Amino acid sequence: MVGKIIRIEGLIVFLGALYFYHVLNASWLLFVILLLAPDLSMVGYLKDKQTGALTYNLVHNFTLAALLIGIGLFTSNKFLTSLGLILTAHIGADRFLGFGLKYATDFKDTHIQRL
């Protein structure tokens, strides 16, 4: 039940990010190009599971996305705001698909489910 709630929340976050990206009138080409860029944080898994989980979780959290959006809005920097919204959309899509924050035990161990 909890996993389903997290997935529904992820879908709502993804759709909300799309809406606000549209309102921002930012580049959809940039959106498409960068939507999967946060997954580059998995490179930490080349070292070990603990480093991989750390690098993945540092990028795949709403705190970083909110900071980018907040700084972008505060400084009127459309690029930073769009990066934050792209990251928000990515995280929302991940949560909807069941990919959560990683535990150091294994890549497949997430806060939503075991993949």
The whole-angstrom separation of Cα 50 and Cα 42 is 11
Q: Which domain holds residue 82?
A: 2-110
The whole-angstrom separation of Cα 21 and Cα 41 is 23
- Domains in the chain, number: 1
Does residue 115 form part of some domain? no
Instruction: Divide the 115 residues of the chain into consecutive groups of 10 and give the mean pLDDT of each group.
Output: 88 98 98 96 93 94 97 98 98 91 78 61
